[in-house]
């Protein structure tokens, strides 16, 4: 498999950015018109129902093609009722864009997610920087429905589109020294205003990590879309991690760096409040957050007179797939 590295591309081959953007904008506007003229065909893009009047995110044309060709994964479906598209794209924790749940949907709309580069480094045979298009090129996109349990005790059910993390990581041929994978979010205070804020306790850029066997578990997923659309910026476009057996904050958004390491990465929340957030952050109803209970969760959207409070399951209901990874570990200690 040929993976083009940035340095191997002649500058003459590279389309001038203004022209590139013009093209993309043309395609985008054409798509928007098409969508307006024939909205049923857009809905047909996926089998899910999207509420009328909601903003859609077609994304760049190359991604759109991949999204169209995506297939449902037969195994990773859920019996749970889906959280409506409207709520998935308007209720987000993405502190780089603001601390309120509604801030990301408001402030991330002009976030530039294409072109996008992902840098792979550390203990691998094939490091390099890749355009997202090349990064994803060898893979078919799949649709998977996962539950997402936030550490704040609410949860959603989301149909993601993306690729299994293991398939991607293997391509770069991690060496025997690679014990962990570390992910880093873009650091760009001009686009992500809260990275300049004086009132947050988090260190930027946001960093998350997985142990190698966790990363290689078939459940671990890199998402590029949801509800058959490309990822909206507020949901972590253009590339985010989805690890459904862990609390939501492990699902790092807008990834620009993937580094293979021998030592356990220092993930952002763990660094900020080690007593409250660990490295593993597996969903565990038996271990409360020091300030609130994790025994139950509210499945969103929650109706006013039916709070939708349900019991939280160990590993968010994915124990069968992942519990073996933690055999012999005291999970009250390794939070």
Partner 1 sequence: MDIAKKTVQRLIWWMIFSLSLTPAVILLFNAISQNLGADPAKEIVLELGTWAINFLWCSLAVTPVRKLFGWRAPLKYRRMLGLYCYFYATLHLLAFATFMIGWDLKILLQELTERPYAVVGFIALLLLTPLAITSTKSMQRRLKKNWLSLHKLVYIIAVLVLLHIVWQVRSDFSEALWYGLLLFWLLAYRYYKKAPSAKGRATKPNDNVVGLKIQR
Binding to partner 1 (CB under 8 A) within 134-193 occurs at 152, 154
Residue 227, number of CB atoms within 10 A of its CB: 29
26 binds partner 1 (CB under 8 A): no
Among 83, 155, 254, 270, binds partner 1 (CB under 8 A): 83
109 binds partner 1 (CB under 8 A): no
Closest distance between partner 1 and the C-beta of residue 237, in Å?
Answer: 19
311 binds partner 1 (CB under 8 A): no
Tokens linked to 320: 């069968």
Residue 227 to residues 67, 102, 162, 230, 247: CA-CA distances in angstroms? 10, 19, 11, 8, 21
101 binds partner 1 (CB under 8 A): yes
Name the segment binding partner 1 (CB under 8 A); options: 22-30, 90-98, 119-127, 210-218.
90-98
For residue 192, give the 3-state DSSP assignment: coil
327 binds partner 1 (CB under 8 A): no
301 upstream amide cis, omega within 30 of 0: yes
49 binds partner 1 (CB under 8 A): no
Beta carbons within 8 Å of 280's beta carbon, 6+ residues apart = 246, 326, 331, 334, 335
Closest distance between partner 1 and the C-beta of residue 274, in Å?
Answer: 14
What are the helix (H) ranges across 10-147?
17-37, 39-43, 61-68, 85-88, 103-107, 132-136
Among 102, 106, 170, 177, binds partner 1 (CB under 8 A): 102
The nearer residue to partner 1, 82 or 129, going by C-beta atoms, is 82
Query: CB of 52 within 8 A of CB of 147?
Result: no
User: CA torsion, points 134, 105, 87, 139, in degrees to nearest 10?
Assistant: 0
**What is the contact surface with partner 1 in residues (CB under 8 A)?**
83, 86-87, 90-91, 95, 99, 101-102, 152, 154, 197, 199-202, 272, 291-293, 296, 298, 300-302, 304-307, 309
């Amino acid at each position: 498999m040929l993976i083009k590295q940035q340095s191997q591309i002649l500058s003459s081959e590279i389309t001038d950015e203004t022209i590139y953007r013009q093209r993309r904008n043309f395609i985008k506007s054409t798509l928007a018109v098409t969508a307006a003229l024939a909205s049923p065909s857009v809905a047909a893009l996926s089998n899910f129902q999207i509420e009328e009047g909601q903003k859609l995110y077609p994304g760049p044309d190359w991604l759109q093609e991949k999204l169209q060709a995506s297939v449902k994964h037969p195994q990773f479906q859920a019996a749970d009722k889906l959280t409506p598209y409207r709520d998935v794209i308007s209720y987000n924790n993405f502190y780089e864009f603001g601390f309120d749940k509604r801030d990301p949907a408001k402030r991330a709309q002009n976030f530039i997610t294409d072109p996008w580069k992902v840098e792979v480094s550390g203990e691998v045979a094939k490091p390099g920087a890749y355009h997202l298009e090349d990064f994803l090129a060898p893979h078919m996109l799949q649709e998977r429905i996962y539950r997402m349990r936030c550490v704040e005790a609410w949860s959603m059910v989301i149909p993601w589109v993306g690729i299994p993390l293991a398939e991607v990581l293997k391509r770069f041929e991690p060496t025997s020294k690679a014990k962990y994978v570390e992910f880093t979010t873009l650091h760009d205070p001009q686009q992500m205003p809260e990275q300049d804020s004086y009132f947050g306790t988090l260190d930027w850029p946001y960093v998350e990590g997985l142990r190698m066997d966790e990363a290689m578990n078939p459940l671990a997923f890199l998402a590029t879309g949801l509800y058959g659309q490309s990822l909206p910026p507020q949901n972590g476009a253009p590339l985010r991690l989805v690890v459904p057996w862990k609390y939501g904050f492990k699902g790092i958004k807008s990834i620009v760096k993937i580094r293979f390491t021998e030592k356990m990465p220092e993930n952002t929340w763990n660094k900020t409040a080690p007593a409250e957030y660990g490295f593993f952050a597996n969903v565990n109803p038996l271990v409360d957050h020091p300030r609130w209970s994790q025994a139950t969760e509210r499945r969103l959207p929650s109706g006013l007179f039916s709070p939708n409070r349900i019991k939280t399951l160990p590993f968010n209901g994915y124990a069968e797939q992942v519990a073996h990874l933690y055999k012999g570990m005291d999970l009250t200690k390794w939070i």
